[in-house]
Amino acid sequence: MNDLLLNLILTLDASFRVCTPLIFASMAGLFAERSGVVDIGLEGKLLMSAFIAASAASVFGSPWLGLMFAIFASCILAMIHGIASITFKGNQIVTGVAINILASGLTMILTLAWFKSGGVTPSLKPDERFLSITLPGVDIIDHIPILGVIYRELISGHNILVYLAFATVPLVWWIVFRTRFGLQLRAVGENPKAVDTAGLSVEGLRYKALLIGGILCGIGGAYIATAHNAQFTKEMTAGQGFIALAALIFGKWHPYRVLAACFLFGFLDALAVRLQGVVIPGIGEIPVQLIEVTPYLLTVILLAGFIGRAVPPKASAQPYIKEL
């Protein structure tokens, strides 16, 4: 077994874990933006639900209850976004910023009020978290060279939410491109007036999209605090909501491409951890910061149209005002 392959497999394995919240958040963003609502608040929803998940899991002793509460909290934020930007026609981006700042402040205030600590929740015991699952057949396949390692390290041994994330993507694709609701969703993001003329509710569709986004962000946040880590810590989402937004643009608002972008960004993140302090012959030490910012750099370059073109849904960022 050569070292390079094992290293690669371990890095890929870490990529799966890192990209899971990105997948949930970017799929949430996909629904919102396909319906014509720009969702800057992904970060805030992730952070809030990470905190609520860790708190509820710790208090009630169950990660599933944590997950439920996280989804609930995230949906409340999504509805605030909806009330301001859909019902009251406020600026979607300003509201998103407000949600991020509120989440940042409230999580700090509430850790102090509920747990008497500055920005952390109690560490979760193993039965209060989502733990790794060993898939059936690992023992049998393990004897096969290479394939055995890949199955054991890469495919088996993740927690349920990782598998859920990867299962969500085809589901999202099916909803967006193969159902009546998906057609309406895409239409409302491109031409809300036509949807309105057809007798459908623009506001209703946008609220539904935000609500689905709230649920997905809730799962993503719960994953960060109760599966990937074992407690909530201050600002623990650390910009993952924005990376998800970048992945959404990089994947041009298409579920499978967005998944690929999430995985690429997750891989870069895992690579940055592995390359810390490693000297590469002929190149020298690669600054970790450079790898860390690659998702942002790639997104800026893509948006500028230097590699392909990213065109958002036509009606995104515009509140719909009905003509009377």
Q: What is the largest CA-CA distance in the chain?
A: 71
Q: What is the dihedral of CA 138, 142, 148, 149, to 10 degrees?
A: 90
Residue 258 vs residues 31, 219, 263: alpha-carbon distances, Å? 12, 18, 9
The CB-of-323 to other proteins minimum distance in angstroms stands at 18
**Residue 146 lies near other proteins (rule: CB under 8 A):** no
Applying CB under 8 A, which of residues 11, 239, 260, 320 lies at the interface with other proteins?
239
Question: In DSSP terms, which residues pair with 284 in a beta bridge?
Answer: 280
Span interacting with other proteins, options 22-30, 113-121, 160-168, 211-219, rule CB under 8 A: 113-121
What distance in Å separates the CA atoms of residue 140 and residue 76, rounded to the nearest whole number?
46
In the complex with other proteins, which residue's Cβ is closer, 58 or 92? Answer: 92
**Residue 271 lies near other proteins (rule: CB under 8 A):** no
Binding pattern for the stretch 51-90 against other proteins, x by CB under 8 A and - elsewhere:
-----------------------------xx-xxx--xxx
What distance in Å separates the CA atoms of residue 22 and residue 258, rounded to the nearest whole number?
10
What distance in Å separates the CA atoms of residue 222 and residue 220, rounded to the nearest whole number?
5
Applying CB under 8 A, which of residues 112, 146, 171, 194 lies at the interface with other proteins?
112
Q: Are 159 and 131 in contact (CB under 8 A)?
A: yes
**Residue 264 lies near other proteins (rule: CB under 8 A):** no
In the complex with other proteins, which residue's Cβ is closer, 100 or 121? Answer: 100
Residue 317: which of 27, 32, 22 has the closest Cα? 32
Write down the H helix ranges in the chain: 3-34, 42-60, 63-82, 92-115, 138-141, 147-149, 160-178, 180-190, 192-197, 202-223, 240-250, 255-274, 288-303
The residue type at 30: L
Sites for other proteins among residues 279-298 (CB under 8 A): 287, 289-290, 292-293, 296-297
In the complex with other proteins, which residue's Cβ is closer, 19 or 227? Answer: 19
The CB-of-270 to other proteins minimum distance in angstroms stands at 17
Residue 210: which of 23, 38, 24 has the closest Cα? 38
Applying CB under 8 A, which of residues 24, 51, 151, 242 lies at the interface with other proteins?
242
The CB-of-87 to other proteins minimum distance in angstroms stands at 9
**Residue 157 lies near other proteins (rule: CB under 8 A):** no
In the complex with other proteins, which residue's Cβ is closer, 204 or 305? Answer: 305
Q: Write out the two tokens for 227.
A: 């599966």
Residue 102: which of 40, 152, 182, 37 has the closest Cα? 40
**Residue 91 lies near other proteins (rule: CB under 8 A):** yes
Span interacting with other proteins, options 189-197, 207-215, 245-253, 276-284, rule CB under 8 A: 245-253
| Sign of the C-alpha dihedral computed for residues 223, 226, 228 and 234 taken in this order | positive
In the complex with other proteins, which residue's Cβ is closer, 161 or 264? Answer: 264
Span interacting with other proteins, options 166-174, 195-203, 252-260, 300-308, rule CB under 8 A: 300-308
Q: Which residues bind other proteins (CB under 8 A)?
A: 38, 40, 80-81, 83-85, 88-95, 97-106, 108-110, 112-113, 116, 118, 239, 242, 245-246, 249, 287, 289-290, 292-293, 296-297, 299-300, 303-306, 312
